[in-house]
A and B are shown apart, each in its own frame.
Chain A
Amino acid sequence: MYRYDEQDHKLIRERVAQFRGQTERYLAGELSEEEFLPLRLQNGLYVQRLAPMLRIAVPYGLMNSTQVRRLAHITRKYDKGYAHFTTRQNVQLNWPNLEDVPDILAELAEVEMHAVQTSGNCIRNTTTDQFAGVARDELVDPRPYCELIRQWSTFHPEFAFLPRKFKIAVCGAEEDRAAIRAHDIGVQIVKNDQGETGFQVFVGGGLGRTPIIGVAIRDFLPETHLLSYLEAIVRVYNQLGRRDNKFKARIKILVKAMGAEEFARRVEAEWEQIKDGAEQLTPEAIEWSKRFFPEPAYKTFSEGHGEAVLRDRAGEDKAFARWLERNTFPHRVDGYQAVTLSTKPTGIPPGDVTDRQLEAIAELADKYSFGEVRVTHEQNVVLADVEQEQLFDLWQEARKHGFATPNIGTLTDMICCPGGDYCSLANAKSIPVAEAIQRKFDDLDYLYDLGDLDLNISGCMNACGHHHIGHIGILGVDKKGEEFYQVQLGGSANEKASLGKVLGPSFSRDEMPETIGKILDVFVENRQPEEFFIDTYNRIGLQPFKERVYAKAS
């Protein structure tokens, strides 16, 4: 992973000092609330319903065990002993004191972490595939490019006060596991006919109250021009994006209003002016960045050896077999497998982990996966490089710490925002809905029979829970002070991205588990063998679901 050098350390230390000064001025009344707001947001600090919330950056989701241990320490010392993994692959603390935040940032800086640009109207944490570098369907490892984007966007002097927040995601594999079409800019790594690396560039995707799937404005951008092209896009947006109405300020609104072709034309015109400038990625620069993501010291295993061991184990132990089936992912290197630690046992808010669990994650990473962990945008944790021979031992340890719920990719592995329990923006609670659904559908055989199914829950239309791109999406809405939930079907986040359609009138919280049950019944009755929910939905449409869910009792 990327390691700071003296310049990184200096920049982050200067940032901590700057924010310490700003916090002191604010507390002394020298900096107004209005002025402090964007400054604290760009340092990850929200003021929330119950307490401040601090969002810590995890660049493209990658951390080492030292950093994870420091997070554990910070949650104990400054918070209530737990942290929350977010859909931007970041980590949030829910209860820090404002006065302590400069100290927290100083402690983070010591382990090469920070909270820079995790909020505010600036370029946010760049996200990617949690299986970057190990996935079999990968064309090119996206992490070196993510790191170059991180450096380019960090403290960018021109783009710190954009019309709105700005999110970039990069995908280097055939399957899009980074939801790039739901981002302001989505970067898909591609190869051209000559075998050269380049990028397909999507722009104008995003969720929130006007969800839009991004459109490709360039099919092949040569590798060397990545940053100048991003700069051209953001520059056009900074000049022309709306600033009169925050709900119409995202780049997706500009692209839609202008038309993707005209937007692309302006970007190309701007890019022509800067493409051969200093921001060009020279081969040396790319090589330099790649050096931070070397292949770990894999052992050499004969083909099929590890799998044979696993087959035997799995034959003896059904629980292990289940976990293996759902919570591990094929690895491009013989004898290795990637493991997803589930943060979603029933009754725990999705993405929440305690300080002890963080320490356990660090220990497991050291013991089984070269000391590295990744946060997924589905709010789980991945150990990417585990020897197949060690999977059984890892599973047993993960179970002790509550990470081995074998539900990855199933209905109960839901994305869920913190909702009305914590967030001052929320119209409704989301965690109790997640829990009620998890409780109703706790039969693993049934879950497995349903197969891959994304259920996403947001407590308000800001869509932090990505409800628009869940196969089943749930949105909390407020009706005259009461909480209700709207259901959407048919969203998806991958390379065939689509937005869900609203099923019909909303439901009370109590009605939600039963409603989901009816939707699943329609799926089960209509599916063809081995068909996934999204494919059945695409085949039969919304109507059969609607009829069942809203049928009058006879």
Chain B
Amino acid sequence: MPKPANLSAKKPVGAQPENPAQLIVDGAVVENEWNLLPLGSDEEISARSLAPGKVILPLSVWLALREDLQGRKDEIGVWLDSDETADLIGEYAAELPLIAANFPAFTDGRGFTAARLLRQRYGFKGELRAVGNFIRDQLTYLKRCGFNSFAFQGEQPLQGLLASMQDFTDSYQTAVDQPLPIYRRRALA
């Protein structure tokens, strides 16, 4: 009998990401089809009790239920808190349809590294979603690190934020969006 996972976190719970109705995916404003389960409730959850539909589980819950949820692979995503590193998902990333990284504060930059590693080291091809308190001024950096999905907190006129995706149209260093650093592009030209 598989053990149920407990949503209440062992560690102190920081700012939990919201799950807005609309978000930006691949440069367009779209309806959110996913339900993100935050940490911090006392609710016990098992593969059987999990509501149907697309759901984004906290890492700890996903790790506990992963085996039991094999049958629903296409509708189970996972979110990393900022102190959870990408290697905790590791090679499993390649099979996931969605991974989210939480920014409890926009100044907490750990999610940038998590994103790059998921994309470049662990072969993640699905939707990489920024959740939490990031800001529009970070959009180009987030995009460069591999995020293609942006779930802004609170009421935001998303259409008006799209322009910030183009704050920088070129870059010096390599990242997920750019295979070659500028010096190699220049020196080889």
Contact = CB atoms under 8 A, between A and B. Distances in A.
Interface of A: 5, 7, 10-11, 14-15, 17-18, 22, 35, 38-39, 121, 148, 151-162, 227, 235, 238-239, 243, 273, 277-279, 281-282, 284-285, 287-289
Interface centre among B141, B142, B172 (most CB of A within 10 A): B172
A282 B182 contact: no
Given A11-B170, A157-B141, A238-B110, 5 more contacts: A14-B168, A14-B169, A121-B109, A238-B113, A285-B184
B85 interface: yes
B106 interface: yes
Given A273-B121, A284-B187, A289-B183, A38 B175 contact: no
17 contacts: A11-B171, A15-B168, A121-B107, A121-B109, A155-B168, A157-B140, A157-B145, A159-B112, A160-B138, A161-B106, A161-B138, A238-B113, A239-B110, A243-B108, A273-B121, A278-B184, A285-B184
Interface residues on B, range: 35 or more
A161 B111 CA distance: 10
A38 B171 contact: no
B135 A11 contact: no
Interface in B72-125: 85, 106-110, 112-113, 116, 121
A282 B170 contact: no
B174 interface: yes
Contacts of B140: 157
Interface of B: 85, 106-110, 112-113, 116, 121, 135, 137-138, 140-142, 144-145, 167-175, 179-184, 186-188
A151 B116 CA distance: 19
Given A157-B140, A157-B141, A243-B108, A7 B187 contact: no
Nearest to A241: B110
A341 B168 CA distance: 39
Contact of B135 (A5, A17, A35, A227): A35
Contacts of B187: 282, 284-285, 287-288
- Taking each of A121, A158, A277, which has the highest tally of chain B beta carbons within 10 Å of its own beta carbon? A158
Given A35-B135, A158-B175, A277-B174, A288 B110 contact: no
Nearest to B112: A158
A157 B112 contact: yes
B14 to A, nearest CB: 10
Contacts, number: 110
A241 B146 CA distance: 22
Contacts of B85: 239
A7 B184 contact: no
A42 B137 CA distance: 12
Contact of A152 (B106, B145, B181, B186): B181
Contacts of B135: 35
Given A161-B106, A243-B108, A277-B174, A7 B182 contact: yes
Contacts of B116: 158
A238 B112 contact: yes
Given A157-B141, A158-B113, A282-B184, A10 B171 contact: no
Contact of B174 (A17, A160, A278): A278
Given A238-B109, A238-B113, A239-B110, A157 B183 contact: no
A120 to B, nearest CB: 9
Nearest to A240: B85
B109 A159 contact: yes
Closest 7 CB pairs of A and B: A161-B109, A157-B144, A157-B141, A288-B187, A284-B187, A151-B172, A285-B183
Contacts of A17: 167
A14 B145 contact: no
Contacts of A157: 112, 140-142, 144-145, 171, 173, 175
A282 B171 CA distance: 19
A151 B173 contact: yes
B109 A148 contact: no
A22 B137 CA distance: 8
B100 to A, nearest CB: 18
Contacts of B183: 148, 151, 281, 285, 288-289
B141 A10 contact: no
A162 B108 CA distance: 7
B82 to A, nearest CB: 8
A308 B108 CA distance: 61
Contacts of A273: 121
A159 B110 CA distance: 9
Contacts of B170: 7, 10-11
A5 B175 CA distance: 21
Contacts of A22: 137
B175 to A, nearest CB: 5
Contact of A11 (B107, B172, B184): B172
B168 A11 contact: yes
Contacts of A282: 184, 187
Contact of A278 (B106, B110, B179): B179
B113 A235 contact: yes
B80 to A, nearest CB: 11
Contacts of A39: 137
Contacts of B110: 238-239, 243
